[in-house]
Amino acid sequence: MLSSITLVDFLVANGLPRGHKLKNGLKIPEWILKNFDYRIACVRGLIDTDGCLFVHKHTVSSKEYKNIGLCFSSYSSILLIQVGNIFEEFGIIPHISTDGRMIYLYKASAVAKYLEVFGTSNERISSVYERWRGARVV
């Protein structure tokens, strides 16, 4: 039988800290990092819940550009570094903000590679990407 208590006990037994996530050093557990498929699923879950896809509009020399980007935020610098390392494992170049709380993918090729490797189960993310691609604003 699954209850909230048994679920918490299971998660704690498998490396997730009980209590305040940040004070207890929120990070991806080692057993996930050691498994290729788990790393992919974990990053997809993190981005699907705490990430977003966005269209960045900017003007250069009176010409408007629209670029696709991905952002994931967390107050855990360890978690952000782990996600960045996993991105780099797949040849995706991440950019961590100066305050260390957000990780960005700025290039359309990086976002496309992310979706190819990790996929998404979040309709909001997939719809933003499809609208951007459909508008042909590359």
Place of tokens 């020399």: 61
Domain 36-134 has CATH 3.30.420.340: no
pLDDT for the residue 121: 93
Checking if the pLDDT of 14 tops 80, the result is no
pLDDT (mean) for 85-103: 94
- Is residue 70 predicted with pLDDT exceeding 90? yes
How many whole angstroms from its chain centre is CA 90?
Answer: 13
User: Hey, what are 60's tokens?
Assistant: 């250069």
* 63 or 7: which leads in pLDDT: 63
2-13 confidence digits (pLDDT tens): 566 776 676 667
CB-based contacts of 89: which residues, under 8 Å, 6+ apart?
Answer: 39
Q: What are phi and psi of 111, to 5 degrees?
A: -65, -45
pTM surpassing 0.85? Answer: no
Q: Average pLDDT over the chain, rounded to whole?
A: 86
Question: Rounded to an integer, what distance in angstroms lies between the CA atom of residue 42 and that of residue 118?
Answer: 9
